[in-house]
Chain A
Amino acid sequence: MESRSHRFKENAAAALANPVLQANMRTAKGKFVDKRAIAIKEIDDFEGTREAAKQLRNLVLENLDLWLEKFETNATARGAKVLWAKDGAEICRHVAEIGKRHGIKKAVKSKSMLSEEAGLNQALEATGIQPVETDLGEYILQINNNEPPSHIIAPVVHKSLDEVADLFEKVHQTPRKTEIPALTREAREVLREHFLTADMGISGGNFLVAETGSVALVTNEGNGRMVTTLPRVHVVITGIEKVIPTLEDLATLMRLLPRSATGQSISNYVSVLTGTKAPDELDGPEHLYYILVDNGRADVIGSEFQEMLRCIRCGACMNHCPVYQTIGGHAYGWVYPGPMGSVLTPLYTGLENAIDLPHAATLCNQCGVVCPVKIPLPDLLRKLREKQTDKNLRPWMERAVLKAWAFVAASPTLYALGAWFGVRYLKWLAGGKASIPVLSAAPEWTKGRDFPAPEGKTFRELYAERKAKP
């Protein structure tokens, strides 16, 4: 997927001015936050479980090369074929080749963010394979001209029931339905046909279990089970950072992922899939491929951003982010929105291509508090900001102001002089009132709030006066 993150400010402004989006975001916000708050109470030692999850993800990242080899050995021993992809283009090449080898006409897909990174659907169409998204949300996006998702767990959180109803009526050419169950039933019937006729299933992978060479897939709709049970070829596309050591670790993470993502104690379906179907088995794929993807991840290993690779893609950070809650996911411009996206997008697509994202946060640390693997998202955002400054990527005006500030602040005399003028000027500007409604130097800032007027003397002056009194 091509990144539009460089246009964050325009995108965000458009989102703020869109009344339908604003209403939809307001509905969604409460549901996610409240449900999670209730669900985590079921865990006696939630903090301890988060800490354990953090540790086990760290363990893997610290020796990622060897864990990947371990997974590869064990998966291969069970009949899977492990392929590697450096970038999105290579993912597409691999899938096209697999498709050709097995004479594939149609591929049903359950949600894979990697496939979004790669723009896989367009690439498959170009090679004559029909891709069909089967997650209800992803399907809605696909039939709406391949619209990008706006949330990693709830891809159409930005859409209202009315918008979906209009879309189904137009695309399915059926009488307009206005009830959510009826729309869901209609999608079920359309997609059931595709499940039964597809010869390839493409899925993401929530976790790769090194111990057994398995992939763990977590879904509620059951589409993940369909695409990995019915077609004769199954392709798993997942990032190299998704390895976990053991089945016990999977159990630990499964206490956190559904609760953090949707506020469920467990997702309806957790499938742990290992290898290909036995000759006498009645269902399951005859061929299983893993495509392990780098696309920027390897370079994050060993860096000051390595902690970001612990992410288990639960979406809690965006659900709790005041900025995301207001502008929705599209404004972020690439596959991953919210705080995790503001860290990942610059890391994977280049710091210079996502200049505003590290600033698209108030650093309130709501995300850091809810993250099930304890990723210090505000710290990472701050580090990205520092990097931008080091590399002179910020706009010249901001740089000039900061340079001037640094110069003044480094000299006590200049600083005192500046402050002396400053407080007097601002007091004069307030004209006797307690606050200043509009600052011409920062009109955007005073649009939403007043600037408190100073009393007319600097701290140093007041201090000296008070000290002079007996």
Chain B
Amino acid sequence: MSSREDILGRVRAKLGRNETNAVAARTGIDVILAAKAQGPRPHVAMEMSALAGRLIDKSLAYSSTVDQIATQAEAPAAIARYLAGLGLPTQAVIWPKLADLDWAGAGITVAAREAQDADLVGITGCFCAVAETGTLMLCGSPDSPAAISLLPETHIAIVPASRIVPGMEEAFALALNELGQLPRAVNFISGPSRTGDIEQTIVLGAHGPYRVHLILIDGE
């Protein structure tokens, strides 16, 4: 007997499974999956300005930094200012999706490809952002590879205010709605990577970025 049959067989025996109750239970499962019931939710104010305000507050609480601009076209210049302010390099790996912005005009040299170890700055967009916890939701795809938000020491994310949702529930619903199914890699990111393993002392920049910077686009 295969291990699958052995394990499932013992679970079935323990649960007193038979053909009749299996039919009823399967229907029950389909009902649960169709209902997609939510648990209790913490209160999150729903107006767009309140959502953006909460996203900013929570992001700061998670050691991210935030800049606000009016249109996406201003993003390269805002990023150039941020990089210059911290004395960071002006070479960056970016999502292929963002290749059309005028990076050269802002003095940033970009490579639109997968991330490599030597990349120090990674620039991404986001699929949406979750106001409740100040979290970015990134979906992997050919023009938005996952490692760009992970390998570089600095991660900069462009976040249109119109893409801020209250909670994780809405973020998932948006993904299923717009993409038809969950993409292979959904990553929720809240601030720079950290560890508290040594004496429960928090240190930023464990394996992933040391810094996460949000460029919030108010008008889009």
Contacts and interface: CB of A to CB of B under 8 A. Distances in A.
Interface of A: 24, 27-28, 31-32, 42-45, 48-49, 52-53, 56, 59, 62-70, 78, 84-86, 90, 134-137, 140, 154-157, 159-161, 164, 180-181, 183-185, 188, 191-192, 195-196, 210-212, 214, 220-223, 225-226, 228-230, 240, 245-252, 254-255, 262, 265-278, 280-284, 292, 294, 298-299, 301-303
A457 B150 CA distance: 75
Contacts of B194: 220-221, 268
21 contacts: A27-B200, A44-B42, A48-B39, A84-B7, A156-B197, A192-B207, A220-B206, A225-B187, A245-B32, A248-B172, A251-B167, A252-B39, A262-B196, A266-B188, A269-B193, A274-B183, A274-B186, A280-B142, A281-B184, A282-B113, A294-B10
Given A63-B29, A220-B206, A240-B7, A250 B187 contact: no
A184 B43 CA distance: 37
A251 B199 contact: no
A155 B193 CA distance: 18
Contacts of A160: 199
Contacts, number: 262
Most buried by A among B10, B32, B150, B185: B185
Contacts of A53: 39
B3 interface: yes
A322 to B, nearest CB: 19
Contacts of B7: 84, 86, 240, 292, 294, 298
B207 A229 contact: no
Contacts of A134: 207
Interface string B5-49: 011101110111100001001101100110011111011000000
Given A268-B193, A281-B184, A180 B201 contact: yes
B145 A283 contact: yes
Contacts of A84: 2-4, 6-7
Given A64-B15, A188-B207, A254-B168, A136 B197 contact: yes
B217 interface: no
Given A28-B200, A137-B197, A251-B39, 14 more contacts: A42-B42, A49-B39, A136-B198, A191-B207, A222-B207, A225-B146, A246-B36, A250-B168, A251-B172, A252-B38, A272-B186, A274-B182, A299-B10, A301-B15
Interface stretch (B67-75, B80-88, B102-110, B133-141): B133-141
A269 B147 CA distance: 13
Among A214, A262, A302, the most chain B Cβ lie within 10 Å of the Cβ of A302
B218 interface: no
A247 B130 CA distance: 15
B182 A212 contact: yes
Contacts of A78: 184
Contacts of B192: 268
Given A59-B32, A221-B206, A266-B133, A272 B193 contact: no
A281 B11 contact: no
A221 B33 contact: no
8 shortest interchain CB distances as A-B pairs: A222-B208, A252-B39, A302-B14, A221-B206, A52-B39, A222-B193, A282-B114, A137-B197
Given A183-B198, A248-B39, A283-B140, A136 B206 contact: yes
Looking at B15, B40, B150, B205, the one whose CB has the most chain A CB atoms below 10 A away is B40
B178 interface: no
Contacts of B42: 42-45, 255
B101 to A, nearest CB: 19
A65 B12 contact: yes
Given A63-B29, A86-B6, A298 B203 contact: no
B55 to A, nearest CB: 13
B177 interface: no
Contact of A135 (B39, B117, B168, B197): B197
B32 A298 contact: no
A135 B16 CA distance: 41
Contact of A188 (B38, B199, B205): B205
B191 interface: yes
A268 B61 CA distance: 12
Central interface residue in A69, A195, A268, A303, by most chain B CB within 10 Å = A268
Contacts of B220: none
A31 B10 CA distance: 42
